[in-house]
């Protein structure tokens, strides 16, 4: 297969998260939708968290347990978005045919990158405050939740950040430090409060803690079992997740 053919195939392949949306609409079951989309059950749940976090309103409505391992259906917003994507797919093939050179497709391929950050939260820039060579960017997530990101001034210019700009905040799961609400928070850090939805223990290594925020978004934190035992945290408990502004990465649409 030529490089051009490979890149064309890459650009026209339906992203797994969109394929999962389509299968949820058809199957009505997380287990069956995950299998049809080529994902594990856990990866499907992660993808649903990401989809709902990145959208202004949840795209998938889900229920835990059940005969099929957990029911799920698209919200009205999810159905609208999937219909829009299908229309875009029909246009994409014609657009690719108009590419003037192989270099065009190579550039598009480089631009379509994925991120390893587990937490991807959509929001808008409220303010940008200069701090020497760095800028402190205040973001507002859905529901009025706010957090701060500290990035270089060069990055602010490169991303063209200004009040009202849509952004995605990327936070690695290992950067989140959990504490009970009874503990005194560190006011220099970002504070996101929610309820523990699930704790997935690992045979060797940190446990994965899923936290449902009041605004409908979900956080994933990696926490050592000793820390969980120290805090006495379990599913259903309210918890505070803290992380430094310098641990927030920002991304924008091209």
Q: Mind listing the domains of the chain with CATH numbers? A: 3-111 (1.10.10.10), 115-254 (2.40.50.100)
C-alpha span between 30 and 36 (Å, rounded):
10
Q: Is 206 in contact with 224 (CB distance < 8 Å)?
A: yes
Tell which phi-psi region holds residue 70, choosing left (phi > 0), alpha (psi between -120 and 50) or beta. Answer: left
At 91, is the pLDDT very low, low, confident or very high (cuts 50, 70, 90)?
A: confident
Question: Among candidates 50, 62, 63, which has minimal Cα distance to 16?
Answer: 50
Q: Above pLDDT 90, what percent of the chain?
A: 57
The residue count of the chain comes to 254
Give the pLDDT score at 1: 42
Q: Is 81 in contact with 21 (CB distance < 8 Å)?
A: yes
- Determine which of 100-104, 183-187, 207-211 has the lowest per-residue pLDDT on average: 100-104
**19-27: long-range contacts at Cβ-Cβ below 8 A with a sequence spacing of 24 or more?**
20/44, 20/47, 20/48, 20/51, 21/51, 21/59, 21/60, 21/74, 21/78, 21/81, 21/82, 21/85, 22/82, 24/60, 24/72, 24/73, 24/74, 24/78, 25/73, 25/74, 25/78, 25/79, 25/82, 27/68
Average pLDDT of the segment spanning 71-76: 89
pLDDT in tens, 11-48: 445 578 889 999 999 999 889 999 999 999 888 988 89
C-alpha span between 78 and 55 (Å, rounded):
9
Count of helices and strands (H, E) across the chain: 8, 12
Give the pLDDT score at 154: 92
Tally Cβ neighbours within 10 Å of residue 80.
Answer: 13
pLDDT in tens, 117-159: 889 898 999 999 999 999 999 999 988 999 999 999 999 998 9
Whether residue 102 is predicted with pLDDT greater than 50 in this model: the reply is yes
Average pLDDT of the segment spanning 189-203: 93
C-alpha span between 254 and 113 (Å, rounded):
12
Give the pLDDT score at 7: 41
- Give me the sign of the Cα torsion angle 73, 75, 76, 79: negative
Give the pLDDT score at 10: 44
Half-sphere exposure of 230 (CA within 13 A, CB side): 8
pLDDT mean across residues, the chain: 85
Give the pLDDT score at 204: 86
Q: Is 140 in contact with 56 (CB distance < 8 Å)?
A: no
Give the pLDDT score at 72: 86
Give the pLDDT score at 178: 96
Average pLDDT of the segment spanning 231-242: 94
Give the pLDDT score at 3: 39
Using CA atoms, how far residue 149 sits from 49, 58, 163, 253, in Å, is 22, 24, 14, 17
């Amino acid at each position: 297969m030529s490089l051009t053919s490979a890149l064309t195939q890459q650009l026209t392949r339906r992203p797994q998260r969109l394929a999962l949306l389509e299968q949820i609409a058809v199957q009505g079951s997380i287990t069956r939708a995950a299998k049809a989309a080529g994902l594990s059950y856990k990866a499907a749940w992660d993808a649903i968290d990401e989809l709902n976090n990145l959208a202004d309103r949840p795209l998938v409505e889900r229920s835990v347990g059940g005969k099929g391992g957990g029911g799920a259906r698209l919200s009205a917003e999810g159905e609208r978005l999937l219909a829009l994507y299908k229309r875009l797919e029909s246009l994409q093939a014609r657009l690719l045919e108009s590419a003037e050179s192989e270099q065009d497709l190579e550039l598009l391929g480089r631009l379509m990158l994925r991120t390893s950050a587990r937490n991807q939260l959509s929001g808008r820039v409220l303010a940008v405050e200069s701090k020497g060579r760095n800028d402190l960017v205040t973001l507002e997530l859905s529901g009025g939740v706010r957090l701060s990101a500290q990035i270089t001034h060069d990055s602010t210019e490169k991303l063209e950040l200004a009040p009202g700009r849509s952004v995605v905040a990327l936070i690695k799961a290992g950067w989140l430090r959990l504490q009970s609400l009874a503990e005194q928070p560190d006011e220099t850090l970002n504070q996101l409060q929610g309820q523990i939805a699930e704790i997935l223990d690992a045979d060797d290594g940190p446990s994965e803690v899923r936290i449902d925020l009041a605004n409908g978004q979900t956080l994933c934190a990696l926490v050592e079992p000793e820390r969980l035992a120290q805090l006495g945290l379990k599913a259903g408990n309210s918890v505070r997740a803290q992380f430094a502004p310098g641990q927030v990465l920002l991304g924008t649409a091209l």
